Structure 1
Amino acid sequence: MRHRHLETATLAVGVVVLADVLRVFLPSVITVFGQAAATPAPLLGAFALGWFVLALFAPALVRRLGARPVATVAAVALAAARLALTAAPGGRTQLWLATVGLLAGLVWLAGTAARTDRPLPGLALGLALGAVTHAAVDTYDLVWRSGWAGWAGSGALVALFLAGTARLASTPAASASPARPGGARVWLLAGPALLLTGMVALSPAVAGTASSYRRGPAAGLAGPPVAGDLPILLASAVALFLLAALARPPRGPARLCGPVAALAGAALFAADRPGWLAPAILLTAAGTGGCLSLAGTAPPPSVPPAGPGQADGRPTRPALAAVLGMLVFAVAVFAYHAAYDLGYPNGSVPVAVAGFVAVVALAPGRVRASAAGAHPRVPPRLRSARIAAGAFLCAFVAAGLSQPAPATSRHQEPPTAVRVVAYNVRMGYGLDGRLDPDGLATVVAGQQPDVVVLSEVDRGWLLNGGHDVLTLLARRLGMTYVFAPAADPLWGDAVLSGLPLASARTRKLAAAGAPTGAQALGVTVDIGGGAGLAVVATHLQPPPGREPVAQARAVADFALGYAAGRPLVVAGNLNTEPGAPAYAELTRAGLVDALAAARPQPTSPAGDPRTEIDHVLVRPGTAVSHPAAPRSTASDHLPVAVTVHLPPP
């Protein structure tokens, strides 16, 4: 393999390894260091951003020791941390391993930047490869899997990365490609491109959610996508991204196409309109790729000899640009998601990042023109059309492997009773801070449910690792679902069932100073014989220091109106205890506690439950039996379950 191809391949695999570590570090900051929102937001943010700021020492390290040894040692540390995380340590060990891996990854990125002549192909292929592998594992990354499949896949990935690193380390210095100062623009965009692709453009979870909104039972609601929707959307995004990134950039006014597309896609995503997710994905993919292509043009024709601020004759300016770009990534991702706790509008964050990418891409490079006054040389590109076509096929196959399983019912005849489970799943993360869809599915399936109501359902937030917890659980339970957004199109509540879901409706609840948005989702479960059970799922968000009284009143009004005399179940994390003012609003409206026979039945925190905030309520006179709150640490809440007996037809 020629040196530049080896360099490209190693950089691409390294980007995937670093992204894997980030998918552990980011949610660990929330679930382990953050202690389920118990840690003050400023302290949490300072801890997370501090490591990106600390990495600013990396260019000085490169200057003193040289790019090659710094990149090699950091790559070994990154690979070791990535492999160690597969051992499923959980808790503080997981947090610190991910932190070490993150810091090592940032240093590796700086060392690689200082010694890589053509970073664009490796960065673009790495982002696309990460999307394809993330789709192939159904957004449940290998790093979270401690079984043989996790170890085999993680071992193969790390082995490829270390093999390429070793080959590069043994390459004679004379044959290595020195980094050009002009390449700093591409490295500066590495972090922002990682944000835009991970948050919007190349996220399999976001693509799956966008596809599911197309098949929802009503406007603004999502249901399982039809086979083919997700593969086509994701594969198209990956192909557009690579085609735009690896093709020769346009000249003249056409140079504006990439930046305009990136800004338009980010604006559509920031608008929080479920129907706009699909065009947001495609525009952001094409625009981000186009901006990277523009930034990769016009390098200086020669590299100055070694001198101050350089190492091994290679400028350290690209190293600093790479670390600064990742700092932009960190600031933006935490600024976007912190809005749901601090209450400021966050739609401007992805638009601002896209604007930053556009400005850097369009900025003129410092280029020495040739004696004849020719245009600046454009570095050789890979055969972009062939690569894009191959990436489309790979992404299509990978996404097709992750389609939800068909719903199954354990009833052969119309049931006379249904088992209802309500569960706050905390984005899929257990008390130990590990993503645990298998643990969640096990505790839910143990109750043999007919209907499952989920709160805190994450369908692609980058801060939580970019996975789709709803699809992961639906596949494991063999159920269909209806999802309603609360905070944005990727976060909300869901109703799952093995029985047919006939119709649905949602009502947005007033925020009243609550951190994340809230809604009430009404779903009709077809129990056969022309009868229907109305199920209302909600997650009340109390204002700081107060009860969610207004939201409770709104939910009761919505539920009773939606049921229209039919059997009714209202369930979810209501953030109020029996006898509290918000709970009294629900009972005053005519709802009855279905778990009363088992009181007290605390559900939070799961490790030492002390508060009763997860509930199931029904109409007066509805017979219920077998209330339970099975112990589990697959979330920070315990699930609640009860059998609801249906009136005769």
Structure 2
Amino acid sequence: MRHRHLSTLTLALGVAVLLDVLRVWLPSVITLFGRAAETPAEMLGAFALGWFVLALAAPTLVRRLGARPVGLAAAGVLAAARLALTAGPGGAAQLWLACVGLLAGLVWLAATAALVDRPVPGLALGLAGQATGHALLGTEDLIWRGGTSGWTLSCLLVLSFLAATALGSWQRPGTSASSGSDPAPPPSTDGRRAWLLCGPALLLANQIALAPAVWAAASGTGSSGFPGLSHAPGGAAPLGAFAVALFLLAALYRPPARLARVLWPVAVFAGAVLFAAGRLVPAYLLTAAGLGGCLALTDAAGAGDQVTGARAAQRRGRAAAVGMVVFAVATVVYYAAYDLGYPNGWVPIVTAVLVVLVALAGPPWSPVALSEPARRWSTFALVLLTAFGPLFHRPPPPAPRPVSPPAVIRVAAYNIRMGFGLDGRLDLDAVARVLRGADVVLLSEVDRGWWLNGGHDTLALLAALLRMPYVFAPAADPLWGDAVLSRFPARSARSRALAGHGAPTGAQALGVTLDLGGRELAVVATHLQPPPGRDPVEQAREVAAFARGYAAGRPLVLGGDLNTEPDDAAFAEFTRAGLADALAAARPLWTSPADEPRTQIDHVFVSPGLTTGEAGAPRTEASDHLPVRVTVALPGPPAR
């Protein structure tokens, strides 16, 4: 029994380390190899998928050299890469370190699959542990943090993983491996289906069910009734802890078989459908329970499952490698839609259907009794969730109080590229430094939990650094869009999706009304992203019309990444609507790319009667764009 306890711990720690590396590798592929859409999407996808396809050779390597030596060597490389990435070098070195770490992690997973015939407890505890740690860290991973605390906790995680792996390599009686010299386990399940679900489970857990940033975004409806207002009730904390608890209970404590075969497949499918429809709270609760339950359905014994020895070990390793290819394909297909222009809401649904089919594919079954060590681990995890669940939620800055009418308003518009600088590192401190002093901030490319970018809630983290509440509007799926941060109270807000012509463009217009102490200012934040092959002029016309109607005669400030130059037809749509270029006095004002700016595509417009003052684009490499800043004065005395 001791070896099963150790294998569960090893697998749980290894999943946590591998997910840490993935949280760096995924955005590195986008920001460093892809340079945020400068590299053709097809080439970027081929590069990303190539590492997972290469890992399909891992089971053959394991069969020839033995699971234990291959697993131990791969664990060492994975651990070294994980530590090297901690507050590491950035740039090309970060990309290739993450690639090496990913490949080592995939090889380690295949070797572990050859040795472990019942992976469900380890997978479940690893996913739940990562989600809990990510929530307690406010969704900003240890791997992006330096300092004493970041390094200490990273070293503890990595050393624990290496110690468990080494002990497991020396003390693993009764488990199967890839060579005939490794002793075989007693008859149980061969574990193939559970290992095949490893990849899809990683995706659904981190995209929906066990993603703390999704929990936070799901609680973003304020008492004034418009989405994303920062004085939203903190319902994400108990619901997030509840989602992890549901996942663990479903995975590790088994209901009657007939009930499980209906309840869990329906739950995971319904959760994916609701996620595609933008209903986040029921989506992550149902997906968490259903995903855990479907993993449990694969951890069952039946006459057709009792395959042991080297053949079973090789089949498990191959299943793990294929499952991770499914993970990669689904991830690339879902997020590439925003560059290539096709509907993508079906991707999580198809992934959920695959999970259901694999879970139900076994013979008539009876649940395998959960081992006592696994019961102890799961009970311990549930106790921790109960104790630390309230800490999952980081309260947003308090809503500002009404103020006296200001003489001028300092406005900034910034495409923050999800918080990743030119070096590919997540550095929200650098973003906050360049925005400090602004009264109103209009943000583009705001990420509230996309797995492609590591699953961070960049908006909540940045708002905490700036001590400014926010209004967020989804522009792609519910987790990616634009935001307005303000030192003035927000009284109302409205969002309008821009035409995508059947493709998810990630474009919208967000209108927010600010109370300036007795007078109102309408602010519109947007990011023009036309479908592939189309000019932004159509979206510019939509935004101009929306802004004019939303302002309804009130003073108006409009800004964002408009992807258009001052001489372009799309730019003229805003001036034709009666808006003035607030940056005209400072032109030419180059804003992109940040290291060698040569285009003017980030803009601020104001309505007639507003006077603009000092304008500029401070140099920084905190994003691939430069921010634009301008002071705006309202005419006349405040309304009484």
- TM-score class, shorter-chain normalisation, is over 0.9
Aligned to 1:291: 294
Q: How does 1:509-524 map to 2 (within 5 A)?
A: 509-512=498-501, 516-524=505-513
Aligned to 1:355: 353
2:293 maps to a residue whose letter is: G
Q: Is 1:535 aligned with 2:523?
A: yes
Q: More deviation in 16-25 or 387-396?
A: 387-396
Cα distance 1:25–1:178, how it changes in 2: closer, same or farther (>3 A)?
Answer: farther
Residue 496 of structure 2: SS of its match in structure 1?
A: strand
Aligned to 1:269: 275
Task: Write the distance in 1 (CA, Å) between the matches of 2:367 and 2:519.
Answer: 72
Structure 1, unpaired ranges of 5+: 368-374
Q: Is 1:608 aligned with 2:560?
A: no
Aligned to 1:632: 620
Contact 2:343–2:503 (Cα < 8 Å) also in 1: no
Cα distance 1:252–1:585, how it changes in 2: closer, same or farther (>3 A)?
Answer: same
The match for 1:420 among 411, 418, 427 is: 411
Q: How does 1:317-466 map to 2 (within 5 A)?
A: 317-365=315-363, 377-380=368-371, 382-383=374-375, 386-387=379-380, 389-394=382-387, 396-400=389-393, 402-407=394-399, 413-445=404-436, 448-466=437-455
* Runs of 4+ that moved beyond 3 A: 172-181, 216-219, 225-228, 299-306, 375-389, 512-515, 542-547
What do the CA deviations read for 1:319-367 (whole angstroms, capped 9, x no partner)? 1111111111110011111111111111111111111111111112498
2:201 maps to a residue whose letter is: A
Aligned to 1:252: 258
2:33 maps to a residue whose letter is: F
What do the CA deviations read for 1:82-104 (whole angstroms, capped 9, x no partner)? 00001421111111100000000
Q: What is the CA distance between 1:378 and its match in structure 2? A: 4.0
1:60 maps to a residue whose letter is: T
Aligned to 1:468: 457
Aligned to 2:581: 593
Task: Write the distance in 1 (CA, Å) between the matches of 2:284 and 2:161.
Answer: 29
Task: Write the distance in 2 (CA, Å) between the matches of 1:490 and 1:175.
Answer: 43
Q: Is 1:578 aligned with 2:566?
A: yes
Q: What is the CA distance between 1:406 and its match in structure 2? A: 2.5
Aligned to 2:215: 207
| TM superposition score normalised by structure 2 | 0.94
Cα distance 1:394–1:178, how it changes in 2: closer, same or farther (>3 A)?
Answer: farther
Aligned sequence identity (%): 61
What do the CA deviations read for 1:243-295 (whole angstroms, capped 9, x no partner)? 00001242225421001100000011112x3xx11000100000001100111
Contact 1:245–1:291 (Cα < 8 Å) also in 2: yes
Q: What is the CA distance between 1:30 and its match in structure 2? A: 0.7
Aligned to 1:371: none
Aligned to 1:51: 51
| TM superposition score normalised by structure 1 | 0.92
Q: How does 1:124-273 map to 2 (within 5 A)?
A: 124-171=124-171, 173=173, 178=184, 182-212=190-220, 214-215=221-222, 217-218=224-225, 221-224=227-230, 226=232, 228-271=234-277, 273=278
Q: What is the CA distance between 1:391 and its match in structure 2? A: 4.7
Q: How does 1:471-550 map to 2 (within 5 A)?
A: 471-512=460-501, 516-528=505-517, 530-544=518-532, 546-550=534-538
1:234 maps to a residue whose letter is: G
Q: What is the CA distance between 1:566 and its match in structure 2? A: 1.5
Task: Write the distance in 2 (CA, Å) between the matches of 1:527 and 1:459.
Answer: 28
1:492 maps to a residue whose letter is: G
What do the CA deviations read for 1:129-160 (whole angstroms, capped 9, x no partner)? 01011111111111111222221221111111
Q: What is the CA distance between 1:427 and its match in structure 2? A: 1.1
The size of the alignment, in residue pairs, is 627
Structure 2, unpaired ranges of 5+: 177-182
2:631 maps to a residue whose letter is: T
Contact 1:16–1:127 (Cα < 8 Å) also in 2: yes
Task: Write the distance in 2 (CA, Å) between the matches of 1:65 and 1:482.
Answer: 56
Task: Write the distance in 2 (CA, Å) between the matches of 1:114 and 1:6.
Answer: 15
CA RMSD of aligned residues (A): 2.2
Contact 1:515–1:541 (Cα < 8 Å) also in 2: no
Task: Write the distance in 2 (CA, Å) between the matches of 1:503 and 1:425.
Answer: 24
What do the CA deviations read for 1:178-229 (whole angstroms, capped 9, x no partner)? 56662111111111111111000010011100011x327445x222264541
Task: Write the distance in 1 (CA, Å) between the matches of 2:357 and 2:240.
Answer: 27
Aligned to 1:370: none
Task: Write the distance in 2 (CA, Å) between the matches of 1:297 and 1:304.
Answer: 13
Q: More deviation in 558-567 or 168-177?
A: 168-177
Task: Write the distance in 2 (CA, Å) between the matches of 1:630 and 1:577.
Answer: 19
Residue 95 of structure 2: SS of its match in structure 1?
A: helix
Task: Write the distance in 1 (CA, Å) between the matches of 2:389 and 2:367.
Answer: 37
Q: What is the CA distance between 1:390 and its match in structure 2? A: 1.8
Task: Write the distance in 1 (CA, Å) between the matches of 2:384 and 2:447.
Answer: 27
Task: Write the distance in 2 (CA, Å) between the matches of 1:454 and 1:304.
Answer: 56
